[in-house]
């Protein structure tokens, strides 16, 4: 595979896409898991399908459409959550379905032969283009810089939002900012594992890292490394067995997490007990 990689551009693109996806899902995944925003992220991801359809219909880049739709969904969910009143899980599930429905509608409105949209739904790391890569690189840089620049603020906000607000940290800004970062992360991951499979890559590396360390920064770093392993193992299996890359990456991720969880539970050495994966001392 390494020899093929040096030869073929599409394999090189897949390699870089895997690295970028691992970085964003490692950093943001840890935050999502700790802040219990997994379902909200799922909602944002699925809403982006509307953007993919919109892109096809209007002729703009589908991934760009996905970005606009997912950012809009993130801001909408954030606003409704902040206002209270309406139950946010209801709103999330409505956006979730509405996004998918709009996607189907827009593609139906599109003149001519319908495109193959399964690569957006289930990912296709081997078909990542140079343009995709530029966009993914930009988004990854923004996500990593945003988390690194305000690391101490994020930590205070994630642990105790109320106290952070009392001492004058702008928590409303952080909340919206986080949702936008999640939207960008989702768009990076769409090309790799697809809209439907995004949740596994967002949660599995973070939850696996949580088994090994209880330090937030280390958890992010471990999570990035674990994500890389999942992506390349999945890519290799996909290449060798000629099966869909998104599916193989997700299967590897989930199986690895379950194995780590079971082995760790049996040996009983527990470094942490994050509520996310249900380990309790």
- Considering only 60, 101, 163, 255, the residue that binds other proteins (CB under 8 A) is 163
Asked if 210 is part of the footprint of other proteins (rule: CB under 8 A), the reply reads yes
DSSP-assigned letter for residue 242: T
Q: Would you state the torsion angle of the CA atoms of residues 85, 86, 87, 93, taken in this order, to the nearest 10 degrees?
A: -160
Give the residue, chosen from 9, 89, 138, 275, that forms a contact with other proteins under the rule CB under 8 A: 275
Q: How many CA atoms lie within 13 A of 246 on its CB side?
A: 21
Contact 50, 104 (CB under 8 A): no
For 41, 134, 136, the CA distances from 63, given in Å and listed in that order, are: 17, 12, 10
Binding-residue total with other proteins (CB under 8 A): 33
Q: Any alpha helices (H) in 194-244, and if so which ranges?
A: 198-212, 216-241
Nearest Cα neighbor of 202 from 180, 226, 232 is: 226
Decide: is 241 part of the binding site for other proteins (CB under 8 A): no
Which window, 1-9, 50-58, 168-176, 221-229, contacts other proteins (CB under 8 A)?
168-176
Minimum CB separation of residue 275 from other proteins in Å reads 5
Which positions from 28 to 67 touch other proteins by CB under 8 A, shown as an x/- string? ------x---------------------------------
Q: Choose which of 214, 243, 255, 258 interacts with other proteins (CB under 8 A).
A: 214
- Say whether residue 168 binds other proteins (CB under 8 A): yes
């Amino acid at each position: 595979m390494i020899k093929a990689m040096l030869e073929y551009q599409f394999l090189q693109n897949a390699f870089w896409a895997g690295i970028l996806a691992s970085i964003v899902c490692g950093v943001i995944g840890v935050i999502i898991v700790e802040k219990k925003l997994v379902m909200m992220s799922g909602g944002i991801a699925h809403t982006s399908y509307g953007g993919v359809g919109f892109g096809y219909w209007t002729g703009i880049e589908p991934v760009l459409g996905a970005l606009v739709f997912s950012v809009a969904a993130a801001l909408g969910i954030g606003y409704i959550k902040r206002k209270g009143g309406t139950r946010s899980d209801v709103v999330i599930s409505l956006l979730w379905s509405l996004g998918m429905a709009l996607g189907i509608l827009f593609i139906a409105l599109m003149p001519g032969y319908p495109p193959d949209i399964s690569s957006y739904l289930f990912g296709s790391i081997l078909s990542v283009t140079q343009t995709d890569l530029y966009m993914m690189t930009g988004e990854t840089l923004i996500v990593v810089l945003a988390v690194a620049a305000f690391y101490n603020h994020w930590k205070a906000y994630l642990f105790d939002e109320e106290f952070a607000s009392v001492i004058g940290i702008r928590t409303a800004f952080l909340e919206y900012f986080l949702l936008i970062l999640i939207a960008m992360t989702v768009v990076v991951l769409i090309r790799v594992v697809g809209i439907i499979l995004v949740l596994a890559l967002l949660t599995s590396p973070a939850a696996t890292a949580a088994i090994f360390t209880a330090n937030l920064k280390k958890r992010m770093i471990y999570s990035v490394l674990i994500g890389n392993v999942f992506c390349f193992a999945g890519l290799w299996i996909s290449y060798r067995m000629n099966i869909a890359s998104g599916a193989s990456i997700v299967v590897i991720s989930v199986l690895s997490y379950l194995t780590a969880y079971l082995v760790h539970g049996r040996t009983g050495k527990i470094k942490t007990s994050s509520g996310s994966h249900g380990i309790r001392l």
